[in-house]
């Protein structure tokens, strides 16, 4: 079974709102996001990690506020995408086919 999750951002996110959202992502993601020049790229970087946290919380019942993602790797192997998420006190492999 394949589940697809996406976020459609239809409204412009202001700089103040972005600061509020960026505080909810990992330090690694925060550094990467702040290097981006375009606001759209910054928003995409933040929302992608928040979406991963949301899916993990809904799928595995992990408390969203205690979840800290250390690293996210996407690998595409022969049309099988594997999302590998390393978290504090958890190591999960979630497969999308």
pLDDT at 47: 85
Give the position of tokens 């969203």: 64
Q: Which two tokens stand for residue 21?
A: 């959202």
pLDDT at 97: 39
- Mean pLDDT per block of 10 residues along the chain (97 residues) reads 74 80 84 88 85 80 63 48 44 41
**Strands lying side by side in the sheet with 90-96:** 69-77, 80-87, 90-96
Model-level pTM? Answer: 0.60
Kindly provide the residue ranges of all beta strands, DSSP E only, lying in 3-96, ordered along the sequence: 69-77, 80-87, 90-96
pLDDT at 67: 59
């Amino acid at each position: 079974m394949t589940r697809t999750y996406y976020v459609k951002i239809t409204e412009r996110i202001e700089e103040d709102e972005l600061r509020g959202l960026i505080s909810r992502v990992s330090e690694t993601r925060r550094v990467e996001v702040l290097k981006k020049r375009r606001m759209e790229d910054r928003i995409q970087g933040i929302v992608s990690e928040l979406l991963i946290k949301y899916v993990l919380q809904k799928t595995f019942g992990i408390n969203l506020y205690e979840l800290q993602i250390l690293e996210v790797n996407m690998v595409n192997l022969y049309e099988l995408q594997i999302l590998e998420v390393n978290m504090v006190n958890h190591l999960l492999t979630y497969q999308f086919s």
